[in-house]
Copies of this chain bind each other. A is one copy, B any other.
Amino acid sequence: MDWKPNTDSHLTLHDQIIDWIKERIEKGDWCVGTKIPTQRQLAAQFNVNRSTVQLALDELRAEGLLQSKRGSGVFVSNSSWNVLVNKTNPNWQQYIEGSVHEPNYHTIQLINQYEQVDHIIRLGTGELSPDLLPTKQLEESLKEISLESKAIGYSSPRGSKALRTTLCTYLKKKGIYTTPENILIVSGALQALQLIAVGLLEKGSLVFQEQSSYLNSVHPFQSAGMRVMSVLRGKNLPEHLRRLKKNKQSLFYCVPTLHNPTGYSWTLEERIAFYQTCKELQIPIIEDDVYHELLFTSGIEPIKALDTSGQVLYIGSVSKTLSPGLRIGWVVAPPPVIERLADIKMQTDYGSSAFSQEIVAHWLSTGLYENHLGQLREQLKIRAEFVEKILYQKFQSLANWEKPEGGFFIWLKFKKPIVNKALFLNLLKRNVLINPGYIYETRDLYHIRLSYAYASLEELEKGLDILFEVCSEY
């Protein structure tokens, strides 16, 4: 213990002290929980100023190796391993924490946590109930799949040719005419957003989104250094976009069909006007169309169907229709974009599961998929009507809503701003989990995203009863 820092070293005195203390901890001389000598004692031992010791201790504290306990001194904190490897890429963490307002973030964590709890009634969950997944048919279909050796090796960059080819046929029915070269198979729509964020945009680019937007559409862009800006659709949008864009590279992320969380679908006129504006301003569009299959009355086509200039990057997926566990989605875009995204995908995960791709290709090409979709829409419609009936009976004086046109959600709007964290927590106490509007847009205290897709009819009824009781108290 008679070590002293070397004044001739190229390292500063406090860096040497840091190294020495780290060595003590590593070697176990000072094990976890050890109270270390006071600043005064250390300064005397090292023959340096107290301020030098303080600098070193502050840094070690910041690194998490040391820990002050008020009034009782400085201690060696938990295993240095944690400190060493659990250091987070600071930008990443900063984005995650900085981007989402504190209260939202905590609510989202609670939602994620309570979604794992068994007896909770999940009124907000944006996924198909296990009952609605065609589990048995999927199991059956596995028996019909024939594999080729080539198909289960490393994949070609764009993904299975068979799947891309059958997708072309499938997409025609939505008015999208494309070729396998314009398609990239991805591991779900979320991965598509991720690839676009890192592959196509410069740091500092603007990503426009509608106010109240799909939660996971924010992080990928922010983490990659883009700025996400909320805008309101409507007459002023073109002028607004023009003003915001200036000379910046930018992009518009939208969910024009059965939007998450609002459930709203844009009219044809809105689509055309929006497409024209973006074309004029040279703002590429990401059209996230994962709910399109779930329109109760088909008819409206994706914006991509209007696209003559390669302005739209179109994203689809089977997560909302067949099984999220397949992790299969697709991007339709001009070849240079596809090549770029494919290249990054190969560098990240070498392609999506060949087995999942085979299964999806099988379901698409045999018509199993469309058969299933017909049934699924019927089921969802029954659920939607069930919930609407309850809403009519109980909530008319409290809230407004629009008749759902498909998908999972009703965007219930209360007449008073009662949807705050207290309401969320009160409901949680009664085992009802909701997705409050403020997680999508901080200032929104009016909305709840009701999902009729997840909970059983019984649970929906019970959950809405409790919701009614709790809301009535406000």
Contacts and interface: CB of A to CB of B under 8 A. Distances in A.
Interface of A: 15, 18-19, 22, 26, 79-82, 84-92, 116, 127-128, 130-131, 133, 135-136, 138-139, 142-143, 145-156, 187-188, 190-191, 194, 198-203, 216, 219-220, 223-224, 247, 249, 280, 282, 284, 309-311, 313, 319, 323-328, 333-334, 336-337, 340, 344, 347-356, 359
A88 B353 contact: no
Given A85-B200, A154-B324, A325-B155, A349 B224 contact: no
A59 B4 CA distance: 56
A311 B81 contact: yes
Given A135-B149, A219-B347, A223-B347, 18 more contacts: A15-B247, A80-B282, A81-B309, A85-B200, A85-B336, A86-B340, A87-B201, A87-B202, A89-B202, A139-B146, A142-B147, A152-B323, A152-B325, A155-B325, A194-B347, A319-B350, A323-B354, A327-B352
Contacts of A139: 145-147
- Copies of the protein in its oligomer: 2
Contacts of A216: 347
B349 A327 contact: yes
The 5 A-B residue pairs with the shortest CB-CB distance, nearest first, are A325-B354, A130-B149, A353-B353, A152-B325, A142-B142
Given A198-B89, A348-B191, A353 B326 contact: yes
A81 B281 CA distance: 12
B325 A353 contact: yes
A362 to B, nearest CB: 11
Contacts of A310: 79, 81
25 contacts: A26-B282, A81-B309, A81-B310, A85-B284, A85-B333, A85-B336, A85-B337, A86-B200, A87-B200, A87-B202, A88-B340, A130-B149, A135-B149, A139-B145, A142-B143, A142-B145, A188-B349, A190-B347, A191-B349, A219-B347, A326-B354, A327-B351, A353-B353, A353-B355, A353-B356
A248 B127 CA distance: 44
A324 B353 contact: no
A309 B82 CA distance: 11
Most buried by B among A133, A146, A153: A153
Given A324-B154, A349-B194, A350-B188, A147 B127 contact: no
Contacts of A309: 81
Contacts of A282: 22, 26, 80, 84
Contacts of A328: 353
A201 B26 CA distance: 19
B327 A199 contact: no
A355 B336 contact: no
A133 B149 contact: yes
Nearest to A80: B282
Given A84-B282, A311-B81, A327 B350 contact: yes
B131 A149 contact: yes
Contacts of A91: 203
